[in-house]
Chain A
Amino acid sequence: MERLDRKLGTASSLPLLAILLVAFIAPMLVVAVFSAMPRKVFSVFNSPDFSAYAALLEQGYYRSLLWSLGMALASTVILFVVCWPLAFGMAKVFKRFTIVLTIAVVVSLFVSENIRLFGWVLTLMKGGLIEGHVRAWTGEGFESPLYSVPIIVFSLVYVYFPFMLFPLAQGIAMVPDDARQAAADLGASRWRILFEIDLPLAAPGIVVGSLLSFVLAAGALAESKILGGQTVIVIADEIETAFTYGQDWPLGSALSMVLITIIAALAIYGIAKVDLDAIMGRKGR
Chain B
Amino acid sequence: MKLNRRQFTLTMAGAAGLAGLGPLSKAFAARDNEMNILCWEGYNSDEVLGPFRNANSGSSVRAESGTSDPDMINKLRAGEVNVWDLINLNQPWARDQLYPENLIKPLDKDRFMPYFEKMMTGFSDPYPLAFADDGNLIGMPQRFGPFSFVVNTDKISREMAEDEGWNLFLDAGMKDRYGVLTYDNWNVIHMCLTAGLNPFEEVTGADAEKFKATAEQIFAGSKLLSDDLVAMNTALINGEIDAYFTGGTYTASPARFDGATNIRGITPKSGPVDGKGGVVWIELTSAVNNPDPSKLAEDFLEYVQAPEICKAVAFAEGTYNPVSQMGNPDVMARFDEDELDAIQWDSLEEEMSRSLDYQVVASYSSLIEIYNAAKRG
Contacts and interface: CB of A to CB of B under 8 A. Distances in A.
B and A form one assembly: yes
Nearest to A42: B77
Contacts of B179: 229
B226 A229 contact: yes
Contacts of A226: 226, 228, 231
Interface residues of A, number: 37
A275 B337 CA distance: 70
Interface stretch (A99-107, A124-132, A190-198): A124-132
A63 B376 CA distance: 8
Interface in A168-192: none
Interface stretch (B48-56, B153-161, B367-375): B367-375
A227 to B, nearest CB: 10
A15 interface: yes
Given A146-B224, A243-B74, A244-B71, A8 B372 contact: no
Contacts of A139: none
Contacts of A121: 231, 234
Contacts of B15: 15
A278 to B, nearest CB: 22
B224 A40 contact: no
Contacts of B185: 245
The residue among A42, A64, A241 with the most chain B CB atoms within 10 A of its own CB is A241
Contacts of A126: 235, 238-240
A127 to B, nearest CB: 4
A208 to B, nearest CB: 26
A144 B223 CA distance: 12
A15 to B, nearest CB: 5
A244 B70 contact: yes
Contacts of A42: 77
A19 B365 CA distance: 38
A277 interface: no
B2 interface: yes
A233 interface: yes
B226 A225 contact: yes
Contacts of B8: 8, 11-12
A9 B376 CA distance: 52
A90 to B, nearest CB: 32
Contacts of A225: 226-228
Contacts of A64: 376
A147 B224 contact: yes
Contacts, number: 90
B3 interface: yes
A160 to B, nearest CB: 22
Interface in A1-25: 5, 8-9, 11-12, 15
B70 A247 contact: yes
Interface in B1-42: 2-5, 8, 11-12, 15
A195 B71 CA distance: 51
A40 B74 CA distance: 12
Given A144-B240, A225-B227, A244-B70, A40 B365 contact: yes
B59 interface: no
Contact of A5 (B2, B223, B228, B231): B2
The residue among A5, A59, A231, A246 with the most chain B CB atoms within 10 A of its own CB is A246
B225 interface: yes
A60 B376 contact: yes
B244 to A, nearest CB: 12
Interface in B336-377: 365, 368-369, 372-373, 375-377
Interface of B: 2-5, 8, 11-12, 15, 68, 70-71, 73-74, 77, 179, 182, 184-185, 223-228, 231, 234-235, 238-240, 365, 368-369, 372-373, 375-377
Interface of A: 5, 8-9, 11-12, 15, 40, 42, 55, 59-61, 63-64, 121, 125-128, 144, 146-147, 225-226, 229-233, 238, 241, 243-248
The 10 closest A-B pairs by CB, nearest first: A229-B224, A127-B238, A230-B225, A245-B184, A244-B70, A8-B3, A147-B224, A126-B240, A15-B15, A233-B376
